[in-house]
């Protein structure tokens, strides 16, 4: 799997007397993963010649390979010929410097390594250029600086106070693999202050950038830089294990267009899209792109509920406007363009949950909308690392006592009121199927899914221990067998009876990059009554336990806990219940 150095014959060296800098280089090409028609590779370039102010690497694939996404360089391909041009931040490279760029690709048949590479048109043969300085000792066979596994250990060990030098760590396939998660000290302190809460307070939770003011920080929450500085400290305290920090990018104009609890500060009719770009995304990208954070793996969860609302909820005025104006699509594209351009940032786009998009009428159209949106970004499908499902929702990860194929006296569980003709009974089966559908719509075959398991545990005494013996009707069987104890799968606000779900975990199942805790457990989904606030948050009656519901939950009671504060604020009673009903149980 590991190529050595490539020593091409007949190398041309630029004239020593010309004004042009002498170019000499050595290139190591190393696959990082290979399987199922997809692969990834790191290309480490060593500058053996004069200092470069920018560089262009060229090589040709020997087989049918295509670059599908690349990082830390501008990648393009024409026929078999691949070009990778330097970025603004890594164009200048001193004599003796080496740096790594990488890409993911596809192929059919053979996947042999390319055998000749050139920098700025000069073939790399491992020899120093004219006038070599004694400090550069080219080695004929280069030891790769990157371990060729899908989880790459960064070659840079950052310290909190010093900007790292040397090559940035490669953009890996799964940023969670082999990494530890950032512990948000503010959430952790609140969790630890609850009885028994310290047992879970060291879990990594999402940091929500839920308004412009959250970028620099507010009186109640530290800002993005402060989190990243803290993450650098946690990373340094952690030996060579990389650290993953998760931010939720959540401030589109007309945000939360089908509900009220998480309405935001920007409105499409008040120039919200332009403000989203310049006052929100641009400053976030400027901070995340700071070189002192480049050893961190920065995961971004992009705009919860936005694109799915364009598929299912355009009968509501705010969603119709989000669609007709193009503001959601353009906003998501803008965010992806800015975020993908930063080599150590990973993008996961929101993909709803099974109780929303799991019907055929929503599943395919959602996948198509995601594909057309992402195709319209500068880097196309390469700008997305994956998707996330169940963010801040309560759908059970796995229903252990029946599947979508189960029947009761010959009647499919799909005909029960609970499943209601959905094609999925739980979140993991939905996420895996949706991943495949996305790939068939054109997304890269190595995209991975995240599932928010912060509050979908459904343990405690109400959890059925096995399939029910009541087969008097399909409804009786499903209602007595399901671990998801909600009144209706369309209920989403501060659900009574819920528990903490699977703890954050990398690579837990096929196609799943990680179980994550994006919604910080203990933070409210919305106020149970009208509470004035300056965050744009409204009062959604789905958070009111006395409300009889709407068409999106089949006009059922909401199942919401009483006395909840506005969305995002600490809700002690909910945290305590989540802890008590955790599944797996917390010990």
Q: Which residues are annotated as a binding site for substrate?
A: 208, 210, 353, 356, 393, 492, 519, 523
- 469-488 binders of ligand BGC (CB under 6 A): none
Q: Is 567 in the site for ligand BGC (CB under 6 A)?
A: yes
Q: Is 294 in the site for ligand BGC (CB under 6 A)?
A: no
- 237-276 binders of ligand BGC (CB under 6 A): 262
Q: Is 208 in the site for ligand BGC (CB under 6 A)?
A: yes
The pair of structure tokens assigned to 459 is 């343990």
Q: Can you tell me which residue has the tokens 């302190």?
A: 189
Beta carbon of residue 264, minimum distance to ligand BGC (angstroms, whole number): 8
Beta carbon of residue 523, minimum distance to ligand BGC (angstroms, whole number): 3
- 11-70 binders of ligand BGC (CB under 6 A): none
Binding residue count for ligand BGC, defined by CB under 6 A: 10
Nearer residue to ligand BGC within complex by CB, 262 or 496: 262
Q: Is 256 a catalytic residue?
A: yes
Catalytic residue among 256, 385, 452, 513: 256
Instruction: Please write down the HEC assignment for all residues of 515-533.
Output: EEECCCCCECCCCCCCCCC
Q: Can you tell me which residue has the tokens 């402060």?
A: 226
Could you say which of 519, 521, 559, 578 contacts ligand BGC (CB under 6 A)?
Answer: 519
Distance CA 407, CA 410 (A): 5
- 369-428 binders of ligand BGC (CB under 6 A): 392
Beta carbon of residue 528, minimum distance to ligand BGC (angstroms, whole number): 14
Beta carbon of residue 261, minimum distance to ligand BGC (angstroms, whole number): 7
Q: Is 568 in the site for ligand BGC (CB under 6 A)?
A: yes
Nearer residue to ligand BGC within complex by CB, 211 or 340: 211
Segment near ligand BGC (CB under 6 A); pick from 10-18, 40-48, 486-494, 515-523: 515-523
Among candidate residues 485, 299, 510, the one with its CA nearest the CA of residue 388: 299
DSSP state of 258: T
Q: Is 210 in the site for ligand BGC (CB under 6 A)?
A: yes
Q: Is 571 in the site for ligand BGC (CB under 6 A)?
A: no
Among candidate residues 504, 502, 491, 416, the one with its CA nearest the CA of residue 459: 502
Q: Is 525 a catalytic residue?
A: yes
Rg (CA), the chain: 26
DSSP state of 443: -
Segment near ligand BGC (CB under 6 A); pick from 95-103, 163-171, 509-517, 518-526: 518-526
Instruction: Note if the bond before 584 is cis, omega within 30 degrees.
Output: yes
Handedness of CA 260, 305, 547, 497 (dihedral sign): negative
Nearer residue to ligand BGC within complex by CB, 499 or 522: 522
Beta carbon of residue 95, minimum distance to ligand BGC (angstroms, whole number): 48
Q: Which helix (H) or strand (E) holds 44?
A: strand 38-47
Nearer residue to ligand BGC within complex by CB, 211 or 482: 211
Longest dimension (CA), the chain: 92
Contacts of 529 (CB under 8 A, 6+ apart): 539, 544
Q: Is 525 in the site for ligand BGC (CB under 6 A)?
A: yes
Distance CA 554, CA 225 (A): 43
The pair of structure tokens assigned to 298 is 């920065």
Nearer residue to ligand BGC within complex by CB, 301 or 438: 301
Among candidate residues 498, 491, 492, 497, the one with its CA nearest the CA of residue 555: 491
Neighbours of 257 (CB within 10 A): 26
- Residues in contact with ligand BGC by CB under 6 A are 208, 210, 262, 392, 519-520, 523, 525, 567-568
- Catalytic residue list: 256, 305, 525
């Amino acid at each position: 799997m590991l190529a050595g150095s490539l020593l091409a014959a007949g190398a041309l060296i630029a004239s020593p007397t010309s004004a042009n800098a002498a170019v000499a280089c050595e290139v190591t090409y190393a696959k990082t993963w290979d399987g199922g028609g997809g692969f990834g590779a790191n290309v480490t370039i060593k500058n053996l010649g004069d200092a470069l102010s920018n560089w262009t690497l060229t090589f040709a694939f020997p087989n049918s390979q295509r670059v599908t996404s690349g990082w830390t360089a501008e990648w393009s391909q024409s026929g078999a010929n691949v070009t990778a041009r330097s970025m603004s931040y890594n164009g200048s490279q001193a004599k003796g410097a080496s740096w790594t760029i990488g890409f993911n690709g596809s192929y059919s048949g053979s996947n042999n390594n390319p055998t000749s590479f050139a920098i700025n048109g000069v073939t790399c043969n491992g020899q120093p250029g004219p006038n070599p300085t004694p400090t550069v000792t080219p080695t004929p066979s280069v030891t790769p600086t990157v371990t060729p596994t899908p989880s790459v250990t960064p070659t840079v060990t950052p310290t909190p106070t010093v900007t790292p030098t040397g090559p940035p760590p490669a953009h890996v396939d799964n940023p969670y693999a082999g990494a530890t998660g950032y512990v948000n000290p503010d959430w952790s302190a609140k969790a630890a202050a609850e009885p028994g809460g310290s047992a879970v307070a060291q879990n990594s939770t999402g940091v929500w950038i839920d308004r412009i003011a959250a970028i620099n920080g507010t009186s109640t929450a530290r800002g993005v830089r402060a989190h990243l500085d803290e993450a650098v400290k946690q990373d340094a305290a952690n030996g060579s294990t990389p650290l993953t920090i998760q931010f939720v990018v959540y401030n589109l104009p007309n945000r939360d267009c089908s509900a009220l609890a998480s309405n935001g500060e920007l409105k499409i009719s008040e120039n919200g899209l332009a403000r989203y770009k310049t006052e929100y995304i641009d400053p976030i990208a400027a901070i995340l792109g700071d070189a002192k954070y480049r050893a961190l793996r920065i995961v971004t969860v992009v705009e919860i509920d936005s694109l799915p609302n364009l598929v299912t909820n355009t009968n509501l005025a705010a969603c119709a406007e989000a669609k007709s104006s193009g503001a959601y699509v353009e906003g998501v594209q803008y965010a992806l363009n800015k975020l993908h351009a930063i080599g150590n940032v990973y993008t996961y786009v929101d993909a709803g949950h099974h109780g929303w998009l799991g019907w055929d009428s929503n599943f395919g159209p959602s996948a198509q909308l995601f594909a057309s949106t992402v195709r319209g970004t500068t880097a196309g499908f390469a700008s997305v690392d994956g998707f996330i499902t169940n963010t801040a929702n309560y759908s059970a990860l796995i229903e252990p006592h029946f599947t979508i194929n189960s029947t009761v006296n010959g009647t499919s569980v799909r005909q029960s009121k609970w499943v209601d003709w959905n094609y999925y009974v739980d979140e993991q089966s939905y996420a895996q199927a949706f991943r495949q559908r996305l790939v068939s719509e054109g997304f890269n075959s190595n995209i991975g899914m995240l599932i928010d398991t912060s509050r979908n545990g459904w343990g405690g005494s109400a959890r059925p221990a096995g399939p029910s013996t009541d087969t008097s009707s399909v409804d009786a069987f499903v209602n007595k067998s399901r671990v998801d104890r909600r009144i209706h799968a369309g209920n989403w606000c501060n659900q009574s009876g819920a528990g903490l779900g699977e703890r954050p975990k990398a690579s837990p199942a096929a196609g799943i990059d990680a179980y994550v805790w994006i919604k910080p457990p203990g933070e409210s989904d919305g106020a149970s009554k009208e509470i004035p606030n300056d965050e744009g948050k409204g009062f959604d009656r789905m958070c009111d336990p006395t409300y009889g519901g709407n068409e999106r939950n089949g006009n059922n009671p909401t199942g919401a806990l009483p006395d909840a504060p506005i969305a995002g604020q600490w809700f002690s009673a909910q945290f305590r219940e989540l802890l008590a009903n955790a599944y797996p149980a917390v010990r």
